[in-house]
Amino acid sequence: MSIIFSRKCEYGIQAVLLLTTEQQGGIHTAEEIANRLKIPKEFVSKILQELTVNGIIFSKKGKSGGFALAKNPNELKLLDIVLAIDGPDIFNRCVLGFPNCSDKAPCPLHYKWSQMINQTFNMLGDETMDKFKQLTINKIESIQ
């Protein structure tokens, strides 16, 4: 199957979106996140840890602990989440897998693709956060 993001990355983005729908400081446990998104708890725990290490979210240990957004959602870009989870490969690697693809020796998709990548992966910055939140809330509800 062709995929765009790894499963890990999909779950990570979903989790961040869920946290985004809450007030700043609204804290959720890994189990709660897993249940609402219907994804494996242990797996999402690992991903939440990576997001924590990379400063996208923060974690509170111990009883009544959990996870919450570290940044103001307005400053958050999709780029940051993907970088935190899967690293820079998706941006460095040629979309068709040609090893020497570059601006100077571009593959047939090179220009359109990097244009698209820039547009898409910076999107959480220029969308208004209200609209974004609303869409996300709809989505979370539609899962349940």
Residue with tokens 């924590």: 52
CA-to-CA distance for 42 and 62, rounded, in angstroms? 17
126 in contact with a second copy (CB under 8 A): no
Q: Which residue from 31, 60, 87, 118 is in contact with a second copy, where contact means CB under 8 A? A: 87
CA-to-CA distance for 109 and 116, rounded, in angstroms? 10
1 in contact with a second copy (CB under 8 A): yes
> CB of residue 118 vs a second copy: minimum separation in angstroms?
11
Total length of the chain: 144
CA-to-CA distance for 33 and 19, rounded, in angstroms? 9
Residue 87 binding result from a second copy, DNA, none, given CB thresholds of 5 to 8 Å by partner type = a second copy
Q: Which residue from 12, 66, 81, 121 is in contact with DNA, where contact means CB under 7 A? A: 66
| Angle formed at CA 121 by CA 114 and CA 16, multiple of 5 degrees | 155
Q: Judged by CB, which is closer to DNA: 48, or 79?
A: 48
Residues at the site binding DNA, with contacts judged by CB under 7 A: 1, 6-8, 11, 29-31, 39-43, 45-46, 48-49, 52, 59-67
